Amino acid sequence: MTKDFLHIADFTADEILGMLDLAKEIKSKFYKHEEYKPFKNQSLAMIFAKPSARTRISFETGFTWMGGHALYLGPNDIGIGKREAVKDIARVVSRYNDMIMARLFNHRHILELAEYSSSSVINGLTDYNHPCQIMADILTIQEHCKTLNDLKVVYVGDGNNIVHSWLQLATRLSMEFVCACPEGYEPDSTTVNNVHKSGISSVEITHDLKKAVKEADVIYTDVWASMGQKSEADEREKIFSEFQVNEAVMESTGKETFFMHCLPAERGREVTDGVLEAPYSIVFDEAENRMHAQNAIMVSLLGGNG
Ligand code: CP
Ligand code: NVA
């Protein structure tokens, strides 16, 4: 196990499946109110250069429940990469804290933070990827679908950080992954090619939404304008309008299909209210599983650090 949790592809399939099993065990302890304090007397620094609800709350609640203390450092607090160099912050914060979770803009900054930090660093989202989210997503799919075999996941929308983590997961666990997006909004080509090279999963990037969603087990979407792109929201709304996940799209798959979204959702844009509220929508199980998946990630890193 590596020191840090930065990308899904840094882990083997066995390590990923092991963390998912551990997440289920820890989730069951949480439900039973069992005492579980692997982080007693430890502290987690949470650095946020962008806003957050789920990531902040799930990490803080999870780490506190596991006996530790979590410290929130918001966008106006330490000015990582602005007020102070990333490598300096890394060496200072890791002298005080046993673990660091960071949500940053520039992906190179999380790599630098991990390189210079003596404590484990967990990626809480960058412009490139969002690995904690995808661990929670696959945990949720394991709980709802009988098997992961022959799973078809169709992501509809912008080829963004969420897609990159899905693509990395597809280099480790076998699936059929399709990304249906407007032209010019495809995911990073190197990340796509790594799936082809791995030979583990099939991947298709398409502009044909109707064809893409056929036989989908899961339809997944995310906002059309991510954090840092909100000034493009109106322009993107026009470009992405054909890619809205609405009731007609969900009903056109030809089988029982779950709807997923990392949240926050912009209701009426990338997804309709009706889809979010439908019985096939598992977005709140998915949001809950952020905490259980992350608890397992943190405990695994602790084990790895001995
Ligand atoms: N899904 C997710 O990361 O949500 P937040 O941005 O609210 O943390
Ligand atoms: N793609 C979105 C994900 C939010 C959890 C963003 O980066 O804003």
Same domain? 140 vs 275: yes
Same-domain check for residues 211 and 197: yes
pLDDT of residue 148: 84
Report if residue 140 sits inside a domain. yes
pLDDT of residue 303: 67
| Residue 117: Cβ-neighbour burial (10 angstroms; 0-12, 13-18, 19+) | buried
Atom 4, ligand 1: residue with shortest CA distance? 54
Q: How far apart are CA 133 and CA 217, in angstroms?
A: 18
- For residue 286, the CA-to-ligand 1 centroid distance in Å is 11
Same domain for 231 and 205, yes or no, is: yes
Q: CA 245, CA 301: separation in Å to the nearest integer? A: 37
CA pair distance 299, 188, nearest whole angstrom: 31
The protein residue with its alpha carbon nearest to ligand 1, atom 6, reads 52
How far out from the chain centre does Cα 127 lie?
12
3 in any annotated domain:
no
What is the SS3 assignment for 68-120? CEEEEECCCCCCECCCECHHHHHHHHHHHCCEEEEECCCHHHHHHHHHHCCCE
Number of domains in the chain: 2
pLDDT tens sequence for the chain (306 residues): 899 999 999 999 999 999 999 999 999 999 999 999 999 999 999 999 999 999 999 999 999 999 999 999 999 999 998 999 999 999 999 999 999 999 999 999 999 999 999 999 999 999 999 999 999 999 999 999 978 888 999 999 999 999 999 999 999 999 999 999 999 999 999 999 999 999 999 999 999 999 999 999 999 999 999 999 999 999 999 999 999 999 999 999 999 999 999 999 999 999 999 999 999 999 999 999 999 999 999 999 986 543
Ligand 1 center from residue 264 Cα (angstroms): 6
pLDDT reported for residue 146: 79
The pTM (predicted TM-score) of the whole model is: 0.97
Annotated catalytic residue 145? no
Residues with CB under 6 A from ligand 2: 125, 160-162, 222-223, 226-227, 262
What is the phi/psi pair of residue 66, to 5°?
-85, 15
Cβ 97 vs Cβ 71: under 8 Å: yes
Range of the domain at 151: 133-286
Q: Domain containing 95 — which CATH number?
A: 3.40.50.1370
Q: Dihedrals φ, ψ of 101, to 5°?
A: -115, 130
